[in-house]
């Protein structure tokens, strides 16, 4: 076992996640081998915004790079609410998807499959592109370098799917299109940000909004299935009101048509 101290990290629902030196240790899941194949593939093609996987430690936990920087939210990092920040997020997503397009991973087994089976397998989707899974660097004071994307983390919900699946959830969380909460600045022009996102991502606005609705519908079903089967994380999430919130969010989405 490593003699370096373990620092417990916050943000997980149930699993104990710790930092050991420059690595993160997490309990393995049935989909961990598939995720590690993805991270190895990203490393091989030079994608810079994902941690590297380093197998398992003596306790059977997965070993991942610790990505240094500050978390994108919540609350939202101010840089993410700028045009430059939004553009950087979209560019990083495109680069990630491009790195997996045409990969043999698209036909591989073992994913925690969250994408409906009728949707095409274009790329490997991250599955949870949101500020709480984005690490940023720099830009904290006078003389600092500009802020930038340092890396995406938590690839547990990665699986094959269409680019639009990831882009839909990213638009929902980064524009953002939330109907409630998150204490956003009163002067944040979300209509303009949605237009900018659509332009930078080169997607059809109506198709994007329709996929956001389907993404939330699928998320509700996934949460409630987990609750019914006794999954601790999803039981807690439903108890906190998230499924009910997403139902309200689906109704509010009609206001963006």
pLDDT > 80? residue 132: yes
pLDDT > 70? residue 145: no
Judgement on whether residues 106 and 153 belong to the same structural domain of the protein: yes
Work out the average pLDDT over 42-47.
96
Judgement on whether residues 30 and 95 belong to the same structural domain of the protein: no
Work out the average pLDDT over 77-86.
94
Residue 181 is predicted with a pLDDT of 77
Q: Is position 27 within any domain?
A: yes
Residue 143 is predicted with a pLDDT of 52
Contact yes or no for 92/49 (Cβ under 8 A): yes
CATH number of the domain residue 139 falls in = 3.90.1200
Judgement on whether residues 31 and 110 belong to the same structural domain of the protein: no
Work out the average pLDDT over 15-27.
90
Judgement on whether residues 141 and 24 belong to the same structural domain of the protein: no
Work out the average pLDDT over 106-129.
94
Work out the average pLDDT over 127-154.
84
Using H for helix, E for strand and C for coil, what is the string for the chain? CCCCCEEECCCCCCCCCEEECCEEEECCCCCHHHHHHHHHHHHHHCCCCCCCEEEECCCCCEEEECCCCEECCCCCCHHHHCHHHHHHHHHHHHHHHHHHCCCHHHHCCCCCCCCCCCCCCCEEECCCCCHHHEEEECCCCCCCCCCEEEEECCCCCCEEECHHHHHHHHHHHHCCCCCCCCCCCCCCCHHHHHHHHHHHHCCCHHHHHHHHHHHHHHHHHHHHHHHHCCCHHHHHHHHCCHHHHHHHHHHHHHHHC
Residue 245 is predicted with a pLDDT of 92
Strand order in the sheet with 53-56: 6-8, 18-20, 23-26, 62-65, 53-56
Judgement on whether residues 50 and 86 belong to the same structural domain of the protein: no
Please identify, among 65, 93, 112, the residue that sits at the C-terminal boundary of a domain.
65
pLDDT > 80? residue 139: no
Q: Which domain holds residue 147?
A: 70-256
Cis peptide before 176 (omega within 30 of 0): yes
Q: Is position 234 within any domain?
A: yes
Q: Is position 163 within any domain?
A: yes
pLDDT > 60? residue 75: yes
Between these two residues, 3 and 68, which has the higher pLDDT value?
Answer: 68
Residue with tokens 């990630």, as numbered in its chain: 96
Average pLDDT, the chain: 92
Q: Is position 238 within any domain?
A: yes
Work out the average pLDDT over 3-32.
83
Residue 142 is predicted with a pLDDT of 53
pLDDT > 80? residue 213: yes
Please identify, among 65, 95, 114, the residue that sits at the C-terminal boundary of a domain.
65
Please identify, among 39, 65, 91, the residue that sits at the C-terminal boundary of a domain.
65
For the chain, the domain total comes to 2
Residue 182 is predicted with a pLDDT of 82
Judgement on whether residues 158 and 34 belong to the same structural domain of the protein: no
Contact yes or no for 257/209 (Cβ under 8 A): yes
What is the model's pTM? 0.92
Judgement on whether residues 130 and 234 belong to the same structural domain of the protein: yes
Q: Is position 119 within any domain?
A: yes
Residue 220 is predicted with a pLDDT of 95
Between these two residues, 73 and 126, which has the higher pLDDT value?
Answer: 126
Cis peptide before 236 (omega within 30 of 0): no
Residue 6 is predicted with a pLDDT of 79
Contact yes or no for 202/195 (Cβ under 8 A): no
Judgement on whether residues 99 and 126 belong to the same structural domain of the protein: yes
Q: What token pair was written down for 225? A: 């299935």
């Amino acid at each position: 076992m490593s003699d370096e101290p373990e620092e417990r990290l916050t943000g997980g629902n149930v699993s104990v996640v710790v930092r050991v030196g420059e690595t993160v240790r997490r309990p393995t899941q049935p989909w961990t081998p598939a995720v590690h194949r993805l991270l190895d593939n990203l490393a091989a093609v030079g994608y810079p915004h994902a941690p590297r996987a380093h197998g398992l430690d003596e306790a059977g936990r997965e070993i991942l790079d610790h990505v240094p920087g500050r978390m994108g939210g919540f609350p939202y990092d101010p840089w993410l609410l700028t045009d430059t920040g939004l553009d950087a997020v979209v560019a990083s997503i495109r680069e990630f998807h491009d790195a997996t397009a045409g990969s043999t991973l698209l036909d591989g087994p073992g994913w925690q499959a969250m994408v409906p089976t009728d949707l095409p397998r274009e790329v490997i989707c991250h599955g949870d592109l949101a500020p709480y899974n984005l690490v940023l660097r720099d830009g904290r004071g006078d003389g600092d370098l500009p802020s930038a994307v340092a890396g995406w983390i938590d690839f547990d919900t990665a699986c094959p799917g269409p680019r639009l699946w990831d882009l839909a959830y990213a638009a929902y969380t980064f524009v953002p299109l939330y109907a409630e909460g998150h204490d956003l600045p009163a002067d944040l022009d979300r209509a303009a940000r949605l237009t900018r996102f659509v332009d930078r991502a080169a997607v059809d606005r109506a198709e994007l909004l329709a996929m956001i609705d389907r993404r939330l519908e699928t998320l509700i079903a996934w949460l409630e299935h987990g609750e019914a089967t006794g999954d601790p994380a999803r039981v807690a999430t439903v108890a906190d009101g998230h499924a009910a919130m997403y139902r309200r969010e689906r109704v509010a989405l009609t206001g963006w048509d």
